[in-house]
C-alpha cells in the first residue's frame, strides 16, 4: 500500500482523468465518427433535394453582412491556415517532430490524416459537383464547392494533432484547452470561407463532418484513447 503513495503523481491512476474505464471510451469515438457520417449524409441528401438553399442564404447573409477591408485581411490570413502550402509544411514538421520523438505511429497518423482528407474531399467534390456560390469572391477559388476542402483538411489535421497531444497529457484542463483551440481554428477557417464568398455554409459543415470522421478514424487506429502514454 505504501508503494502507491510514492508513485509520481502523473503515474498514479487515481490522478489520471482517463484511468477509470478508459477502455470504455473507445466506442465513444466510433459513435462520434458515426455521427459525422450521418451529418454528412443528411447534408448530402438536403443538397440533392435542394433543401440547403434557405440555410445557406441565411448564414451567408449574416456572415457577409459587414464586409470591411480590415476584416477581409484577417479572414484571408485565417483561410490561409487551410491552404495546401501551409497544411503541407505543418504536416511535415509535425510528423518529423513525432518521428524524432520515436512516435512512429503518431507521425504516420498525422501524415495519413492530412493526405486522406485531401483525397476524400477531392473525390467527394467530383461526386456532388456543386458550383461555387454566385457571389463576389474576395479570394480566387476554382473547382467544385461541396464539401469545403479547407474545412475538411483543417478539421482532420488539427483534431488529429489535438488528440495526439491529449494522449500525452493526463489532465482534463490541458486536454480541454488543446481541443478547444483546435475547434476554434477549424471554426474560424470555415467561417472565413463563407465570408470570402467561396463556399456555402452547407459546404463548410459537410467539410467539418468529413474531416472529423477522418480524425476519429486515425485516432481509433492509433488507439490514442486507450493505450498508456
**pLDDT > 70: percent of the chain:** 86
Q: Assess whether pLDDT exceeds 70 at residue 87.
A: yes
**Tens of pLDDT along 125-137?**
999 999 999 998 8
Is 210 within 8 Å of 36 (Cβ atoms)?
yes
CB-based burial of residue 153 (10 Å sphere; 0-12 exposed, 13-18 middle, 19+ buried)? buried
Q: Assess whether pLDDT exceeds 70 at residue 5.
A: no
Q: What is the mean pLDDT of the chain?
A: 87
Residue 56 is predicted with a pLDDT of 94
Q: Rounded to the nearest 5 degrees, what angle is found at the Cα of 77, between the Cα atoms of 200 and 97?
A: 105
Q: Rounded to the nearest 5 degrees, what angle is found at the Cα of 189, between the Cα atoms of 184 and 194?
A: 125
Regarding predicted confidence, which is higher, 216 or 167? 216
Q: Assess whether pLDDT exceeds 70 at residue 19.
A: no
Question: Could you give the maximum distance between any two Cα atoms of the chain, in Å?
Answer: 70
Delimit the domains of the chain by residue range.
Answer: 25-222
**Tens of pLDDT along 202-222?**
999 999 999 999 999 999 999
C-alpha cell at 227: 493505450
Q: Where does the pLDDT of residue 171 fall: very low under 50, low under 70, confident under 90, or very high at 90 and above?
A: confident
Amino acid at each position: 500500500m505504501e508503494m502507491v503513495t510514492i508513485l509520481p503523481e502523473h503515474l498514479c491512476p487515481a490522478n489520471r482523468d482517463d484511468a477509470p474505464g478508459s477502455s470504455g471510451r473507445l466506442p465513444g469515438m466510433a459513435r462520434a465518427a458515426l455521427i459525422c457520417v450521418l451529418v454528412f449524409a443528411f447534408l448530402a441528401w438536403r443538397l440533392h433535394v435542394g433543401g440547403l438553399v434557405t440555410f445557406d442564404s441565411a448564414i451567408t447573409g449574416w456572415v457577409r453582412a459587414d464586409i470591411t477591408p480590415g476584416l477581409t485581411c484577417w479572414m484571408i490570413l485565417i483561410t490561409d491556415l487551410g491552404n495546401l502550402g501551409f497544411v503541407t509544411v505543418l504536416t511535415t514538421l509535425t510528423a518529423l517532430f513525432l518521428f524524432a520523438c520515436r512516435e512512429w505511429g503518431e507521425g504516420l497518423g498525422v501524415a495519413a490524416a492530412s493526405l486522406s482528407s485531401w483525397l476524400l474531399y477531392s473525390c467527394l467534390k467530383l461526386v456532388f459537383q456543386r458550383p461555387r456560390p454566385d457571389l463576389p469572391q474576395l479570394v480566387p477559388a476554382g473547382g467544385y464547392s461541396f464539401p469545403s476542402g479547407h474545412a475538411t483538411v483543417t478539421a482532420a489535421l488539427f483534431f488529429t494533432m489535438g488528440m495526439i497531444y491529449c494522449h500525452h497529457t493526463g489532465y482534463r484542463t490541458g486536454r480541454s484547452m488543446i481541443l478547444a483551440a483546435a475547434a476554434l481554428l477549424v471554426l474560424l477557417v470555415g467561417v472565413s470561407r463563407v465570408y470570402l464568398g467561396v463556399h456555402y455554409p452547407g459546404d463548410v459543415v459537410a467539410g467539418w463532418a468529413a474531416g472529423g470522421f477522418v480524425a476519429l478514424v486515425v485516432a481509433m487506429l492509433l488507439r490514442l484513447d486507450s493505450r498508456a502514454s
